[in-house]
């Protein structure tokens, strides 16, 4: 699985510019799909048919990542930019971004009298090696994602955009392992989650599922002086009960737990106090659906080095397969 994780996390795909990621996922899923389509917003929708006895289930993992967009290029060739999604200024200085064509840029910042403080986003700039606005290889409106190589540290895996390529990997792996299912399952590799869970919203409107399950990263409480949270890296997949955007369907939460216990899959119950996932728009689409989320615990979310544990990833895949291969009674 690490090879696939490396391939997807190193791909370029800021929100709104997901095509390179989609092109990598498509050949992975094609042999296992009954039907594949790309909708108007760019969601990749992969249908695996059921035997007709089950429900319509939508699985959502978002392809997009946070990034930056060029707003202005100075005479000297420096690039000013704005954020795409939740970019924290403290993660920027000295880091690198990569544009769609592979152009690499270095982020730096205006001098600050107090070195312990962090400049706001608008006081940062990107240096792409240009000497003037004329020879600058990027233009206003170009988007870039962070650039950092995938690394394996024992069972821990580190990369930019684990949020949410790891969710995409869980979806792809589950699809590969899912031999038979009673359910009509739609794996949606969604766009624009980081700018307001927008892709999953239109996909849910179109598919009108009975059950919606998002696959996304969640925070942990296991780093020094972290905000208390009962989720740790390596202690299992996380079953979401609540985040700041939605409260999961109580019956679906119960079913997820039951499936994990039956199959002996390590799991943690998750109450997230910052952020939300594609489960939020799925829950309220049309007449609503039973929505929930299988989360992959992740440290340092929205930095260039997001860390997950390979065992948690494996357990997330196992739980999803357990849920999809058996009847769902809510």
Partner 1 sequence: MDTFEILKKLTETPGPSGNEGGIAHVIAELWQPYVDSVTVDRVGSLIAVRNGQGKAPRQRLLLAAHMDEIGLMVRQIVSHNGYGFLRVTNVGGVDIRQIYAQQVVVHGRQELPGVLGCLPPSMLPEEKQNKPYDYEDLVVDVGLPAEEVEKLVSVGDFVSFRQPLHQLLGKRVAGKSLDNRASVTAVTLCLHYLAQRTHTWDIIAVATAQEETRLLGAYTSAFSQRPDAAVAIDVTFGKGPGVNDANAFELGGGPTIDWGPNVHPGMYRALKEAADAIELPVHTATHSRYSGTDAFGLQIAREGIPTGLVGIPLRYMHTMVETADLTDIERTGRLLAEFITRLDDKFLESLAAGMMEEK
Q: Which of residues 77-136 bind partner 1 (CB under 8 A)?
A: none
Instruction: Kindly tell me which residue out of 289, 294, 317, 320 binds partner 1, with binding defined by CB under 8 A.
Output: 289
Q: Does 282 bind partner 1 (CB under 8 A)?
A: no
Tell me if 210 contacts partner 1 by CB under 8 A: yes
Q: Which of 98, 198, 249, 302 binds partner 1 (CB under 8 A)?
A: 249
Assess 284 for contact with partner 1 (CB under 8 A). Answer: yes
Q: How far apart are the first and last CA of the chain?
A: 32
Contacts of 45 (CB under 8 A, 6+ apart): 36, 37, 38, 39, 186, 187, 188, 189, 203, 207
Provide, rounded to whole angstroms, the least separation between the CB of residue 143 and partner 1. Answer: 30
Catalytically annotated residue among 18, 65, 173, 193 = 193
**Taking CB under 8 A as the rule, does residue 286 contact partner 1?**
yes
State yes or no: residue 174 binds partner 1 (CB under 8 A): no
Binding-site member from 163, 270, 309, 322 for partner 1 (CB under 8 A): 270
- 229 SS3 class: coil
Per CB under 8 A, 223 contacts partner 1: no
| Spatial distance between the Cα atoms of 143 and 127, rounded to a whole number of angstroms | 14
**Among 72, 151, 250, 327, which residue interacts with partner 1 (rule: CB under 8 A)?**
250
Cα→Cα distances 299→229, 265, 302, Å: 12, 21, 9
Q: Which listed residue (4, 100, 241, 263) binds partner 1 by CB under 8 A? A: 241
Is residue 245 at the binding interface for partner 1, with CB under 8 A as the rule?
A: yes
Residues contacting 225, CB < 8 A, separation 6+: none
The beta strand positions in 137-278, using DSSP E, are 143-146, 151-153, 156-159, 184-190, 211-218, 237-242, 267-271
d(CA 22, CA 30): 12
User: Residue 140 or residue 250: which is nearer to partner 1 going by CB?
Assistant: 250
Q: What does the alpha-carbon distance between residue 296 and residue 5 come to, in Å, rounded to a whole number?
A: 13
User: Judged by CB under 8 A, does residue 288 bind partner 1?
Assistant: yes
Q: Look up 193 and say whether it is catalytic.
A: yes
Question: What residue ranges bind partner 1 (CB under 8 A)?
Answer: 210, 221, 228-230, 239, 241-242, 245-250, 253, 268-271, 273, 280, 283-284, 286-290
What amino acid positions are annotated as catalytic residues?
A: 193
């Amino acid at each position: 699985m690490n090879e696939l994780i490396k391939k997807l996390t190193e791909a370029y795909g800021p929100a709104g510019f997901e095509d390179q990621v989609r092109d990598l996922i498509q050949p992975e899923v094609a042999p296992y799909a009954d039907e594949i389509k790309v909708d108007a917003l760019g969601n990749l929708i992969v249908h695996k048919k059921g035997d007709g006895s089950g429900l319509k289930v939508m699985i959502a993992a978002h392809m997009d990542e946070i990034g930056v967009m060029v707003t202005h290029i100075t005479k000297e060739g420096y690039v000013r930019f704005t954020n795409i999604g939740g970019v924290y200024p403290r993660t920027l200085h000295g880091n690198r971004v990569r544009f769609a064509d592979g152009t690499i840029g270095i982020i730096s910042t205006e001098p600050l009298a107090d070195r312990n403080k962090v400049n706001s986003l608008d006081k940062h700039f990107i240096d792409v090696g240009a000497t003037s606005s004329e020879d600058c290889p990027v233009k206003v409106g170009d988007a870039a994602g962070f650039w950092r190589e995938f690394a394996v540290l024992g069972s821990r895996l580190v990369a930019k955009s684990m949020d949410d390529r790891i969710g995409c990997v869980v979806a792809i792996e589950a699809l590969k392992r899912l031999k038979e299912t009673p359910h009509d399952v739609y794996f949606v590799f969604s766009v624009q989650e980081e700018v307001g869970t927008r892709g999953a919203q239109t996909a849910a409107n179109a598919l009108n599922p009975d059950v919606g399950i998002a696959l996304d990263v969640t925070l942990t409480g296991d780093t020094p002086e972290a905000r208390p949270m009962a989720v740790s890296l390596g202690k299992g997949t996380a079953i979401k009960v609540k985040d700041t955007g939605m409260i999961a369907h109580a019956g679906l939460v119960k079913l997820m737990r039951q499936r994990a216990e039956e199959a002996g899959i390590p799991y943690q119950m998750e109450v997230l106090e910052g952020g939300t996932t594609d489960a939020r728009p799925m829950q309220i689409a049309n007449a609503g659906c039973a929505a929930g989320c299988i989360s992959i615990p992740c440290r340092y979310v929205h930095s260039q080095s997001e860390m997950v544990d390979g065992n948690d990833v494996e357990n997330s895949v196992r739980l999803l397969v357990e849920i999809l291969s058996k009847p769902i009674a809510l």
